[in-house]
Structure 1
Amino acid sequence: MGSPEKNQNKGFFAAMSSSLSMFGSALHRSVNGLLGYEGLEVINPEGGKEDAEEEAQKGRWKQEERDGYWKMMQKYIGSDITSMVTLPVIIFEPMTMLQKMAELMEYSHLLDKADESEDPYMRLVYATSWAISVYYAYQRTWKPFNPILGETYEMANHGGITFIAEQVSHHPPMSAGHAENEHFTYDVTSKLKTKLLGNSVDVYPVGRTRVTLKRDGVVLELVPPPTKVNNLIFGRTWVDSPGEMIMTNLTTGDKAVLYFQPCGWFGTGRYEVDGYVYNAAEEPKILMTGKWNESMSYQPCDTEGEPLPGTDLKEVWHVAEIPENDKFQYTYFAHKLNSLETAPKRLLASDSRLRPDRYALERGDMSKASAEKSRLEERQRAEKRNREAQGHKFIPRWFDLTDEVSPTPWGDLEVYRYNGKYSQHRAAADNSENIDETVARSIQFNPWQYGNVSAE
């Protein structure tokens, strides 16, 4: 569904509702017994069921690696594999989950516009477009590194934003983040829940994301759709996020409800997003339509969801220019997240940029990346044994665990709150002498709070 004009006979809202009734119908195309592997599901997003056998031979795995991992992963089918399985570096990108959280800041100017807007419905247009914009980056098929407990990521020099994220729990893996500029504050507690389905995995964002617009204190809360990663081992890996995104203005009761269409036969509906901004009485005020990998547009509508006469569809967000033939499908902004260009003065030693496995992969040294990844994971286990032997409990530095438990569509979530200590640290560090790139890169990665335990 690209634009309202296509649906003049049945109405934009009716057409959208009709398309939703087909949710998931094209996503479940199993190829049982394909190539002798019972229960294997291979989905070609550009084809049909008859293309599955040819598609299964494609992808980044060598045949012997593919066969071995398929046998290993079968015992985990139906399980949450968030931190259960040690995966090979071949499927990783040189970025951590904490950096992935920071990618949401690429189009932060949309939140600045939301803060500046006096129209309460346009605020939601800007804010939801901001939330959708990151899905272009989320379609990458490489896995980010799981952060080490106590690991951090700092970002500066972008839109006047100060950003800090910290890994606050290892089992279950949880991260907390805070960003702020003159227009907004952004706070998130993130906890991923997964379900392995064999050659695919469902990812449920059990998190809480809130944005506070500073001009008048409006609080917005985001509930994103789940994500499905298809063809993990057999075939070319690709990502889809069919479902509902809801952005609620907790101050006024207005909300935006947007539907991410599932990928159908031969790519039908892939990337498409449609929905409405509603007032507190649940009356549609503005329709929104677009593709999460290209652009989003909006148009005022009547209470039936039809475009108002005399109004036009206007673009609110468009994906930025991207590098050609980038190995990891990175945007220019993603590359900046790995560089010291976005780093503040006197980078914390726990920062993701300093991880030796991540840095080795970025430089193309797969062997060193694999060895460093194993070494870091063993040091994390050693630190845990050391901490538990002393009867200590891990306590994050920049975020505090609250008594608040937030319900989500996929389970309850313990909420972490930014404690303000990073602002004090950063103010002191910014007044200090800067460190050049050579010195910064020589800082030893050190997230360990209970003994810098060596595995050697």
Structure 2
Amino acid sequence: MGSPKKNESKGFFASVSSSFSVFSNAMHRSVNGLLGYEGVEVINPEGGKEDAEEEAQRGRWKQEDRDSYWKMMQKYIGADVTSMVTLPVIIFEPMTMLQKMAELMEYSYLLDRADESEDPYMRLVYASSWAISVYFAYQRTWKPFNPILGETYELVNHGGITFLAEQVSHHPPMSAGHAENDHFAYDVTSKLKTKFLGNSVDVYPVGRTRVTLKRDGVVLDLVPPPTKVNNLIFGRTWVDSPGEMIMTNLTTGDKAVLYFQPCGWFGAGRYEIDGYIYNSSEEPKILMTGKWNESLSYQPCDPEGEPLPNTEMKEVWHVADVPPNDKFQYTHFAHKINSFDTAPKKLLASDSRLRPDRYALELGDLSKAGTEKTSLEERQRAEKRTREANGHNFTPRWFDLTEEVTTTPWGELEIYQYNGKYSEHRASIDNSGSIDNVDVKSTEFNPWQYGNLSTE
């Protein structure tokens, strides 16, 4: 039996597409007339439509702001709008894209189990379940802040992991990340490509994700499906990632091929995942099934893909409990991402937690958050002018641009590699024996290459 229906693609940063979720409620009246959507039935992907029409009439913005934003966005239809649009802070969540990258570490114990497993196929069961587990968090429709060039995010005190991400390019937006514990090393270079379609946006993560399992040196390569954000103009905004997720064991040739079912009418098939673990000869060995917002299970299968006799379906992953009625639909781990409890001693001044706009939004001060966001963007532009005037190029601190260029389904990707300097930096601090009594929250956010430039 072959793999489920194929649609080869990728979809790690579904959340970035939430930049445009604001249109889902804010422009129902002004846009429906322009696009001829009057009288079109609004479908609720959760099932049913009893409250979808009411939601379509409700927006986050004042009526007078709606037309102006739609007129601004019309010129971008068909374009890649990854970083060209400035949006109001009211649609943001108090987290940056670098922190969003760290959410992949919530269920990192699955990678520990993959490393401990002697069964090559179970390694892929655990590792592919880890890759799928993050989709529960990525269904949020709030937009994370775009990182400032040179911004970083550090995470410790979770499963023995040290995680570091850095914004290595602004145009195009690119981030690099590295995580490590006793069982695995994780490396990612991420670049997004989007296509704005008026009532939806397609998101193509032009990235490369690699996981090395330390015990045997096994290297895993991950290619998730693309993402589509629906109902940008009217109705309930929701995220779908139909297509294949492929995780390949580059050492042995075994692979996991898991198909994300597309959402049908009234939510049919949404969240559902089915697929197989294949050996290097492309023979199915283990079947997997479940829902990315609930749990995943596995069962050994025969060469036709049918369950083996005298075996049973076993659960490999289950979503953790979440806080009830959370404003931003955060998991408990997402709250830890923002916490200074998961920060190392002597946090880098470039860390996302220290961003004044993000922190103000976390405290509920939208006015201050908007002012600080504008100030940071102006200072970033000022630094760019200074850099260009001096004939300088931006150089990341913790990742090096390599000569490697890899081909993805959506374009070429330059690869950044972790250079190890952060490990040396952290070791020197941890071994110094000094205790920093300074309140880390009072540290001034400083990702700048030339220091804090004025905006003039």
What corresponds to 1:140 in structure 2? 140
What corresponds to 1:449 in structure 2? 449
Matched, 1:361 2:361: yes
Aligned equivalents of 1:299, 1:89: Cα separation in 2: 46
| Equivalence map 1:8-47=2 (5 Å) | 17=4, 35-38=32-35, 43-46=43-46
Aligned equivalents of 1:386, 1:33: Cα separation in 2: 42
Question: Stretches of 4+ moved more than 6 A in 1?
Answer: 31-34, 48-52
SS across alignment from 1:453: coil
Matched, 1:280 2:265: no
Q: CA deviation at 1:17?
A: 4.0
Alignment gaps of 5+ in structure 1? 1-12, 21-30
SS across alignment from 2:35: coil
Change (3 A) 1:370 1:203: same
Say what the alpha-carbon RMSD is for the aligned residues: 2.2
Q: Which range moves more in the overlay, 394-403 or 69-78?
A: 69-78
What corresponds to 1:64 in structure 2? 64
Deviation string for 1:219-261 (max 9, x for gaps)? 0000011111222343332211111100000000000000111
Give the letter aligned to residue 33 of structure 2: G
Aligned equivalents of 1:168, 1:440: Cα separation in 2: 24
Aligned equivalents of 2:436, 2:161: Cα separation in 1: 20
Matched, 1:322 2:322: yes
What corresponds to 1:333 in structure 2? 333
What corresponds to 1:5 in structure 2? none
Contact residue 349 and residue 447 of structure 1 kept, 8 A: yes
SS across alignment from 1:156: strand
Deviation string for 1:202-225 (max 9, x for gaps)? 111110000000001000000011
TM-score (norm. length: structure 2): 0.90
Contact residue 70 and residue 233 of structure 1 kept, 8 A: no
Contact residue 30 and residue 66 of structure 2 kept, 8 A: no
Give the letter aligned to residue 247 of structure 1: M
Contact residue 151 and residue 350 of structure 2 kept, 8 A: yes
Change (3 A) 1:275 1:440: same
Aligned equivalents of 1:294, 1:455: Cα separation in 2: 47
| Equivalence map 1:28-427=2 (5 Å) | 35-38=32-35, 43-46=43-46, 55-427=55-427
SS across alignment from 1:245: strand
Change (3 A) 1:196 1:116: same
Aligned equivalents of 2:341, 2:49: Cα separation in 1: 46
Q: Which range moves more in the overlay, 105-114 or 57-66?
A: 57-66
Aligned equivalents of 1:435, 1:199: Cα separation in 2: 51
Deviation string for 1:151-209 (max 9, x for gaps)? 00000000000111000000000000000000000000000111111122111111000
SS across alignment from 1:287: strand
Aligned equivalents of 2:122, 2:60: Cα separation in 1: 43
Give the letter aligned to residue 35 of structure 2: E
Change (3 A) 1:45 1:124: same
Aligned equivalents of 1:74, 1:43: Cα separation in 2: 24
Contact residue 4 and residue 259 of structure 2 kept, 8 A: no
Q: CA deviation at 1:57?
A: 1.7
SS across alignment from 1:157: strand
Contact residue 168 and residue 174 of structure 2 kept, 8 A: yes
Change (3 A) 1:158 1:410: same
Aligned equivalents of 1:379, 1:18: Cα separation in 2: 48
Q: Which range moves more in the overlay, 117-126 or 405-414?
A: 405-414
SS across alignment from 2:121: helix
Change (3 A) 1:143 1:32: closer
| Amino-acid identity (%) | 81
Q: Which range moves more in the overlay, 191-200 or 315-324?
A: 191-200
Aligned equivalents of 2:278, 2:65: Cα separation in 1: 50
Aligned equivalents of 1:376, 1:250: Cα separation in 2: 42
Change (3 A) 1:92 1:312: same
Give the letter aligned to residue 296 of structure 1: L
Change (3 A) 1:183 1:19: closer
Q: CA deviation at 1:429?
A: 1.6
Contact residue 58 and residue 235 of structure 1 kept, 8 A: no
Aligned equivalents of 2:361, 2:249: Cα separation in 1: 41
Q: CA deviation at 1:439?
A: 1.2
Change (3 A) 1:34 1:80: closer
Q: CA deviation at 1:53?
A: 5.5
Aligned equivalents of 1:44, 1:424: Cα separation in 2: 51
Change (3 A) 1:77 1:291: same
Contact residue 166 and residue 176 of structure 2 kept, 8 A: yes
Aligned equivalents of 1:152, 1:359: Cα separation in 2: 15
Aligned equivalents of 2:58, 2:290: Cα separation in 1: 30
TM-score (norm. length: structure 1): 0.90
Aligned equivalents of 2:292, 2:416: Cα separation in 1: 29
